[in-house]
Structure 1
Amino acid sequence: MGDAARLNPPCTLLRVSGVNIVNAAGEQVVLKGAGLGGMLNMENFITGYSGHEHEHRATLEEVLGKDKADFFFARLLHHFFTEDDAALFASLGFNCLRVPFNHRHFMDDDNPSVIKQSGFELLDRIVNICAQYNIYVVLDLHTAPGGQNQDWHSDSGVHRALFWEFRDFQDRVIQLWEALAAHYAGNPFIAGYNPLNEPADPKHTRLISWYERAEKAIRAVDPDHMLFLDGNTYAMDFSQFPVDKPLPNTVYSCHDYSGMGFPLPEQYEGTDQQKAKLRSSFKRKVEFMQAAGVPIWNGEWGPVYQDPRTDPRAAETNTKRFALLKEQLQVYREFGDVSWSIWLYKDVGYQGMVYTDPESPYMTLIQPFIEKKQRLGLDFWGICDKSGIDNEVYGPFIAKLKESIPEHLHKKKYPKTWTFDRQVERVVREMLMSEYMGWEMAELFRGKTEEELEVLAASFALKNCKTRDELNSILTLDAERSSSGSR
Structure 2
Amino acid sequence: MRVPSPIMHDANDYLQIKGDDIVLDGKPILLKGAGLGGWMNMENFITGYPGHEFQVRAALKKVLGEEKYDFFFDKFLEYFFTEEDAKLYAELGLNCLRLPVNYRHFEDDMNPRVFKKEGLKHLDRVIDICAKYGIYTVIDLHAAPGGQNCDWHSDAGNDQALFFDHKDFQDRTVLIWEHLAKHYRDNTWVAGYNPLNEPTDEQHVRLLAFYKRVEKAIRKIDPHHLLFLDGNTFGGDFRHFEEPLPNCVYACHDYSNYGFPSAPELFTGTPEQIEWHKRSFNRKIEYMQKHKIPIWNGEFGPVYQNANDGLPNWEEINESRYKVLECQLGLYANAKTSWSIWLWKDIGFQGMTYVDPESPYIKLLQPFLDKKRRLATDSWGCDTTPVEPIFEPINKWMLEAAPALEHKYPSTWRGVKHISRMLRNCLLSECLVDEYASYFEGKSMQELDELAQSFKLSKCQQRTRLNDILKEDSKRAAV
In the other structure, the counterpart of 2:9 is none
In the other structure, the counterpart of 1:458 is 453
Instruction: With the length of structure 1 as denominator, give the TM-score of the two structures.
Output: 0.95
In the other structure, the counterpart of 2:167 is 167
AA aligned to 1:268 is: F
Distance of 1:53 and 1:296 partners within structure 2? 31
AA aligned to 2:20 is: V
In the other structure, the counterpart of 2:388 is 390
Q: How does 1:307-346 map to 2 (within 5 A)?
A: 307-310=306-309, 311-335=311-335, 337-346=336-345
Distance of 2:299 and 2:166 partners within structure 1? 28
Distance of 1:9 and 1:316 partners within structure 2? 42
1:418 aligns with 2:413: yes
1:443 aligns with 2:443: no
Distance of 1:322 and 1:418 partners within structure 2? 25
Shift of 1:382: 4.2
AA aligned to 1:415 is: P
In the other structure, the counterpart of 2:76 is 76
Shift of 1:402: 2.0
Q: Is the CA contact 2:37–2:344 (under 8 Å) kept in the aligned structure 1?
A: yes
RMSD over aligned Cα, in angstroms? 1.3
Distance of 2:53 and 2:373 partners within structure 1? 18
Shift of 1:54: 0.4
Shift of 1:269: 2.1
Query: Helix, strand or coil: the match of 1:63?
Result: helix
Q: Is the CA contact 1:8–1:95 (under 8 Å) kept in the aligned structure 2?
A: no
| Moved beyond 4 Å, runs of 4+ | 7-11
In the other structure, the counterpart of 1:376 is 375
Shift of 1:186: 2.0
Distance of 1:195 and 1:78 partners within structure 2? 24
In the other structure, the counterpart of 2:365 is 366
Shift of 1:410: 2.8
In the other structure, the counterpart of 1:257 is 255
In the other structure, the counterpart of 1:3 is none
AA aligned to 1:284 is: R
Q: Which runs of 5+ in 1 are unaligned?
A: 1-6
Distance of 1:61 and 1:399 partners within structure 2? 40
Q: Is the CA contact 2:33–2:341 (under 8 Å) kept in the aligned structure 1?
A: yes
1:433 aligns with 2:428: yes
Deviates most, 112-121 or 255-264: 112-121
Aligned sequence identity (%): 52
Q: Is the CA contact 1:37–1:43 (under 8 Å) kept in the aligned structure 2?
A: yes
Query: Helix, strand or coil: the match of 2:77?
Result: helix
Query: Helix, strand or coil: the match of 1:277?
Result: helix
Task: Kindly provide the CA deviation profile for residues 282-334 of structure 1, in whole angstroms up to 9, marking residues without a partner as x.
Answer: 00000000111110000000001101233331111111011111010111112
In the other structure, the counterpart of 1:476 is 471
Query: Helix, strand or coil: the match of 1:234?
Result: helix
Query: Helix, strand or coil: the match of 1:108?
Result: coil
Query: Helix, strand or coil: the match of 1:99?
Result: strand
Query: Helix, strand or coil: the match of 2:407?
Result: coil
Q: Is the CA contact 2:30–2:338 (under 8 Å) kept in the aligned structure 1?
A: yes
Q: Which runs of 5+ in 2 are unaligned?
A: 6-12
Instruction: With the length of structure 2 as denominator, give the TM-score of the two structures.
Output: 0.96
In the other structure, the counterpart of 2:103 is 103
Q: Is the CA contact 1:374–1:382 (under 8 Å) kept in the aligned structure 2?
A: no
User: How many pairs were matched up?
Assistant: 470
Shift of 1:9: 4.6
Q: Is the CA contact 2:50–2:430 (under 8 Å) kept in the aligned structure 1?
A: yes
AA aligned to 1:287 is: E
In the other structure, the counterpart of 1:4 is none
Shift of 1:403: 2.3
AA aligned to 2:227 is: L
Q: Is the CA contact 1:299–1:341 (under 8 Å) kept in the aligned structure 2?
A: yes
Distance of 1:386 and 1:291 partners within structure 2? 39
In the other structure, the counterpart of 1:404 is 401
Distance of 1:353 and 1:465 partners within structure 2? 10
AA aligned to 1:427 is: M
